[in-house]
Structure 1
Amino acid sequence: MTGKEEIQKDWFKDWFNTPYYHILYKNRNNEEAALFIRNLVQFLDIDSEKAKILDLACGKGRHSIYMNTLGFDVKGVDLSEESILYASQFAKDRLSFAVQDMREPMQEKFTHIFNLFTSFGYFDSQDDNQRVMHAIDAMLDKDGILVIDFMNSPKVIQQLVKEEEKTIDSISFHITREHDHQHIYKHIHFQDKGQDFRFSERVQALTLDDFSRLTDATGLQIIRTFGDFSLNPYHPETSDRLIIIAKKQE
């Protein structure tokens, strides 16, 4: 059975709200994330007194929390109630969290919107991607800045790790990956407390051209791209990431 046949349309609603999602991804590199944020803040020359930042699809809030320590007013939103429940324990002055579907705009305006760590392309169609981009456009101030940090799909497909085992908190996660050139699938199988669990992730294999089409349909224009967290130039064949900087033109 292929990934297309197995996976549910809104796979993220169940998987992101399980404790096992947070166990599997608990060892993300916070130092690397902090370096990336510092590099972005410096490159964008963000004024902490004037900026209002939205961390869109914030997960458990690690980027939001760090940006707040740098003096920024930050709001983190995510569809996962479990993630927002965890992040909310860190809420304080100039740092807040809320459950929000990224396809729907909020009645707030922001100077900067960050969408980090491949938190785009989860939905089933390009129409949903466009809804996200229109929502971002609606929430950005004039001359506001969007930052999207996405996987570099061409390199990921070329170097896809088809199978691996990860043991975290005494749980052995068996992970397999596949692609159909349009999506990258990750299938996760494990046992815990005598039960058998299977989850799947599906992310669209979006390219720079795809993001250009999405922004061109809005008031956003891509003004710069980078290929890693140190903000080196982007190369489709070799870069680790696709980092997009877009500006609202109207």
Structure 2
Amino acid sequence: MSYGDFAYVYDFLMQDVPYDRWLEFFQRKADAYKSSGEKVMDLACGTGELSIRLAKLGYQVTGVDLSEDMLMVSSEKANKENVQLSLFQQNMSQLEGLGLYDVITVFCDSLNYLSSPQEVQETFKRIHDHLQENGLFLFDVHSIYKMEHIFSNQTFTEIEDEVSYIWNCFEGEHQYSVEHELTFFVLDEKTSQYSRFDELHKQRTFTENDYLLWLNEAGFDVLEVSADFSNEKPKEESERIFFVCKKK
């Protein structure tokens, strides 16, 4: 999928998203598993919020995203922050030719945009191919609980002077999937008029056992499975599941 106009209001929508907690999670796991390497791929990097934070810490960061618009925003922000990012437009399930990395991340439930088991399996294999020996793969996904009890059949709204939105969530066509229908109203400062655009985003998750099986098949040792930025194992009402994996 391509985010189109969505890229330019994405940071507004994500303004309360805890990027610093993902950064802290990254640092904690890199230290725990003694990943001293500096080369990091931030896969599905979006508008570069995490990539820029990593670059400021001295990592050599490559950001990869499917959306050209997202990458343009990332580049603009990196220039403004005076940090160096290497940016590439690729589909994560078709990742190729970008060299080897010490750590690869897929955070902020980006993996949930893959619509089939085959896409997830292929993504794991491509990531494995782009990691150094014993390299780390860190990612998170929405839990089944979140899909079924927090998203499904819910509506979220935000009204601000410059950007407002209505976000409706519906049960998707697959098990453990949702469809996000988003309607945005964005103020044009030149005309003082609001323009409307609509987006449809589909997300799907799978069981923890599915992910564990596919990671093993792709050549990973799963070092940890935890929930909600903690070191605790997932519980029935956990919302975000984290995996820490090492290339065999």
Query: TM-score scaled by structure 1?
Result: 0.82
Paired residue for 2:40?
Answer: 53
RMSD value, Cα: 2.5
SS at match of 1:226: strand
Amino acid of the structure 2 residue aligned with 1:225:
V
For 2:14 and 2:137, locate their aligned partners in 1 and report how far apart those are by CA, in whole Å. Answer: 23
Paired residue for 1:85?
Answer: 72
The 5 A counterparts of 1:63-212 are 63-89=50-76, 90=78, 95-107=85-97, 108-160=99-151, 162-180=154-172, 181-191=175-185, 197-212=197-212
Q: Percent identity?
A: 21
SS at match of 1:132: helix
Paired residue for 2:4?
Answer: 17
Aligned residues: 234
For 1:22 and 1:157, locate their aligned partners in 2 and report how far apart those are by CA, in whole Å. Answer: 29
The unaligned stretches of length 5 or more in structure 1 are 1-11
C-alpha displacement at 1:211, in angstroms?
1.1
State the 4+ residue runs in structure 1 displaced beyond 4 angstroms: 46-49, 91-94, 190-196
Paired residue for 1:218?
Answer: 218
Cα offsets for 1:79-135 (capped at 9, x unmatched): 110111111231667532121211123320011100010111323321111111111
SS at match of 2:92: coil
Contact 1:121 1:204 in 2 (8 A): yes
C-alpha displacement at 1:178, in angstroms?
1.7
More moved, 171-180 vs 144-153 = 171-180
Cα offsets for 1:210-231 (capped at 9, x unmatched): 21122122111211012122x2
SS at match of 1:135: helix
For 2:47 and 2:13, locate their aligned partners in 1 and report how far apart those are by CA, in whole Å. Answer: 13
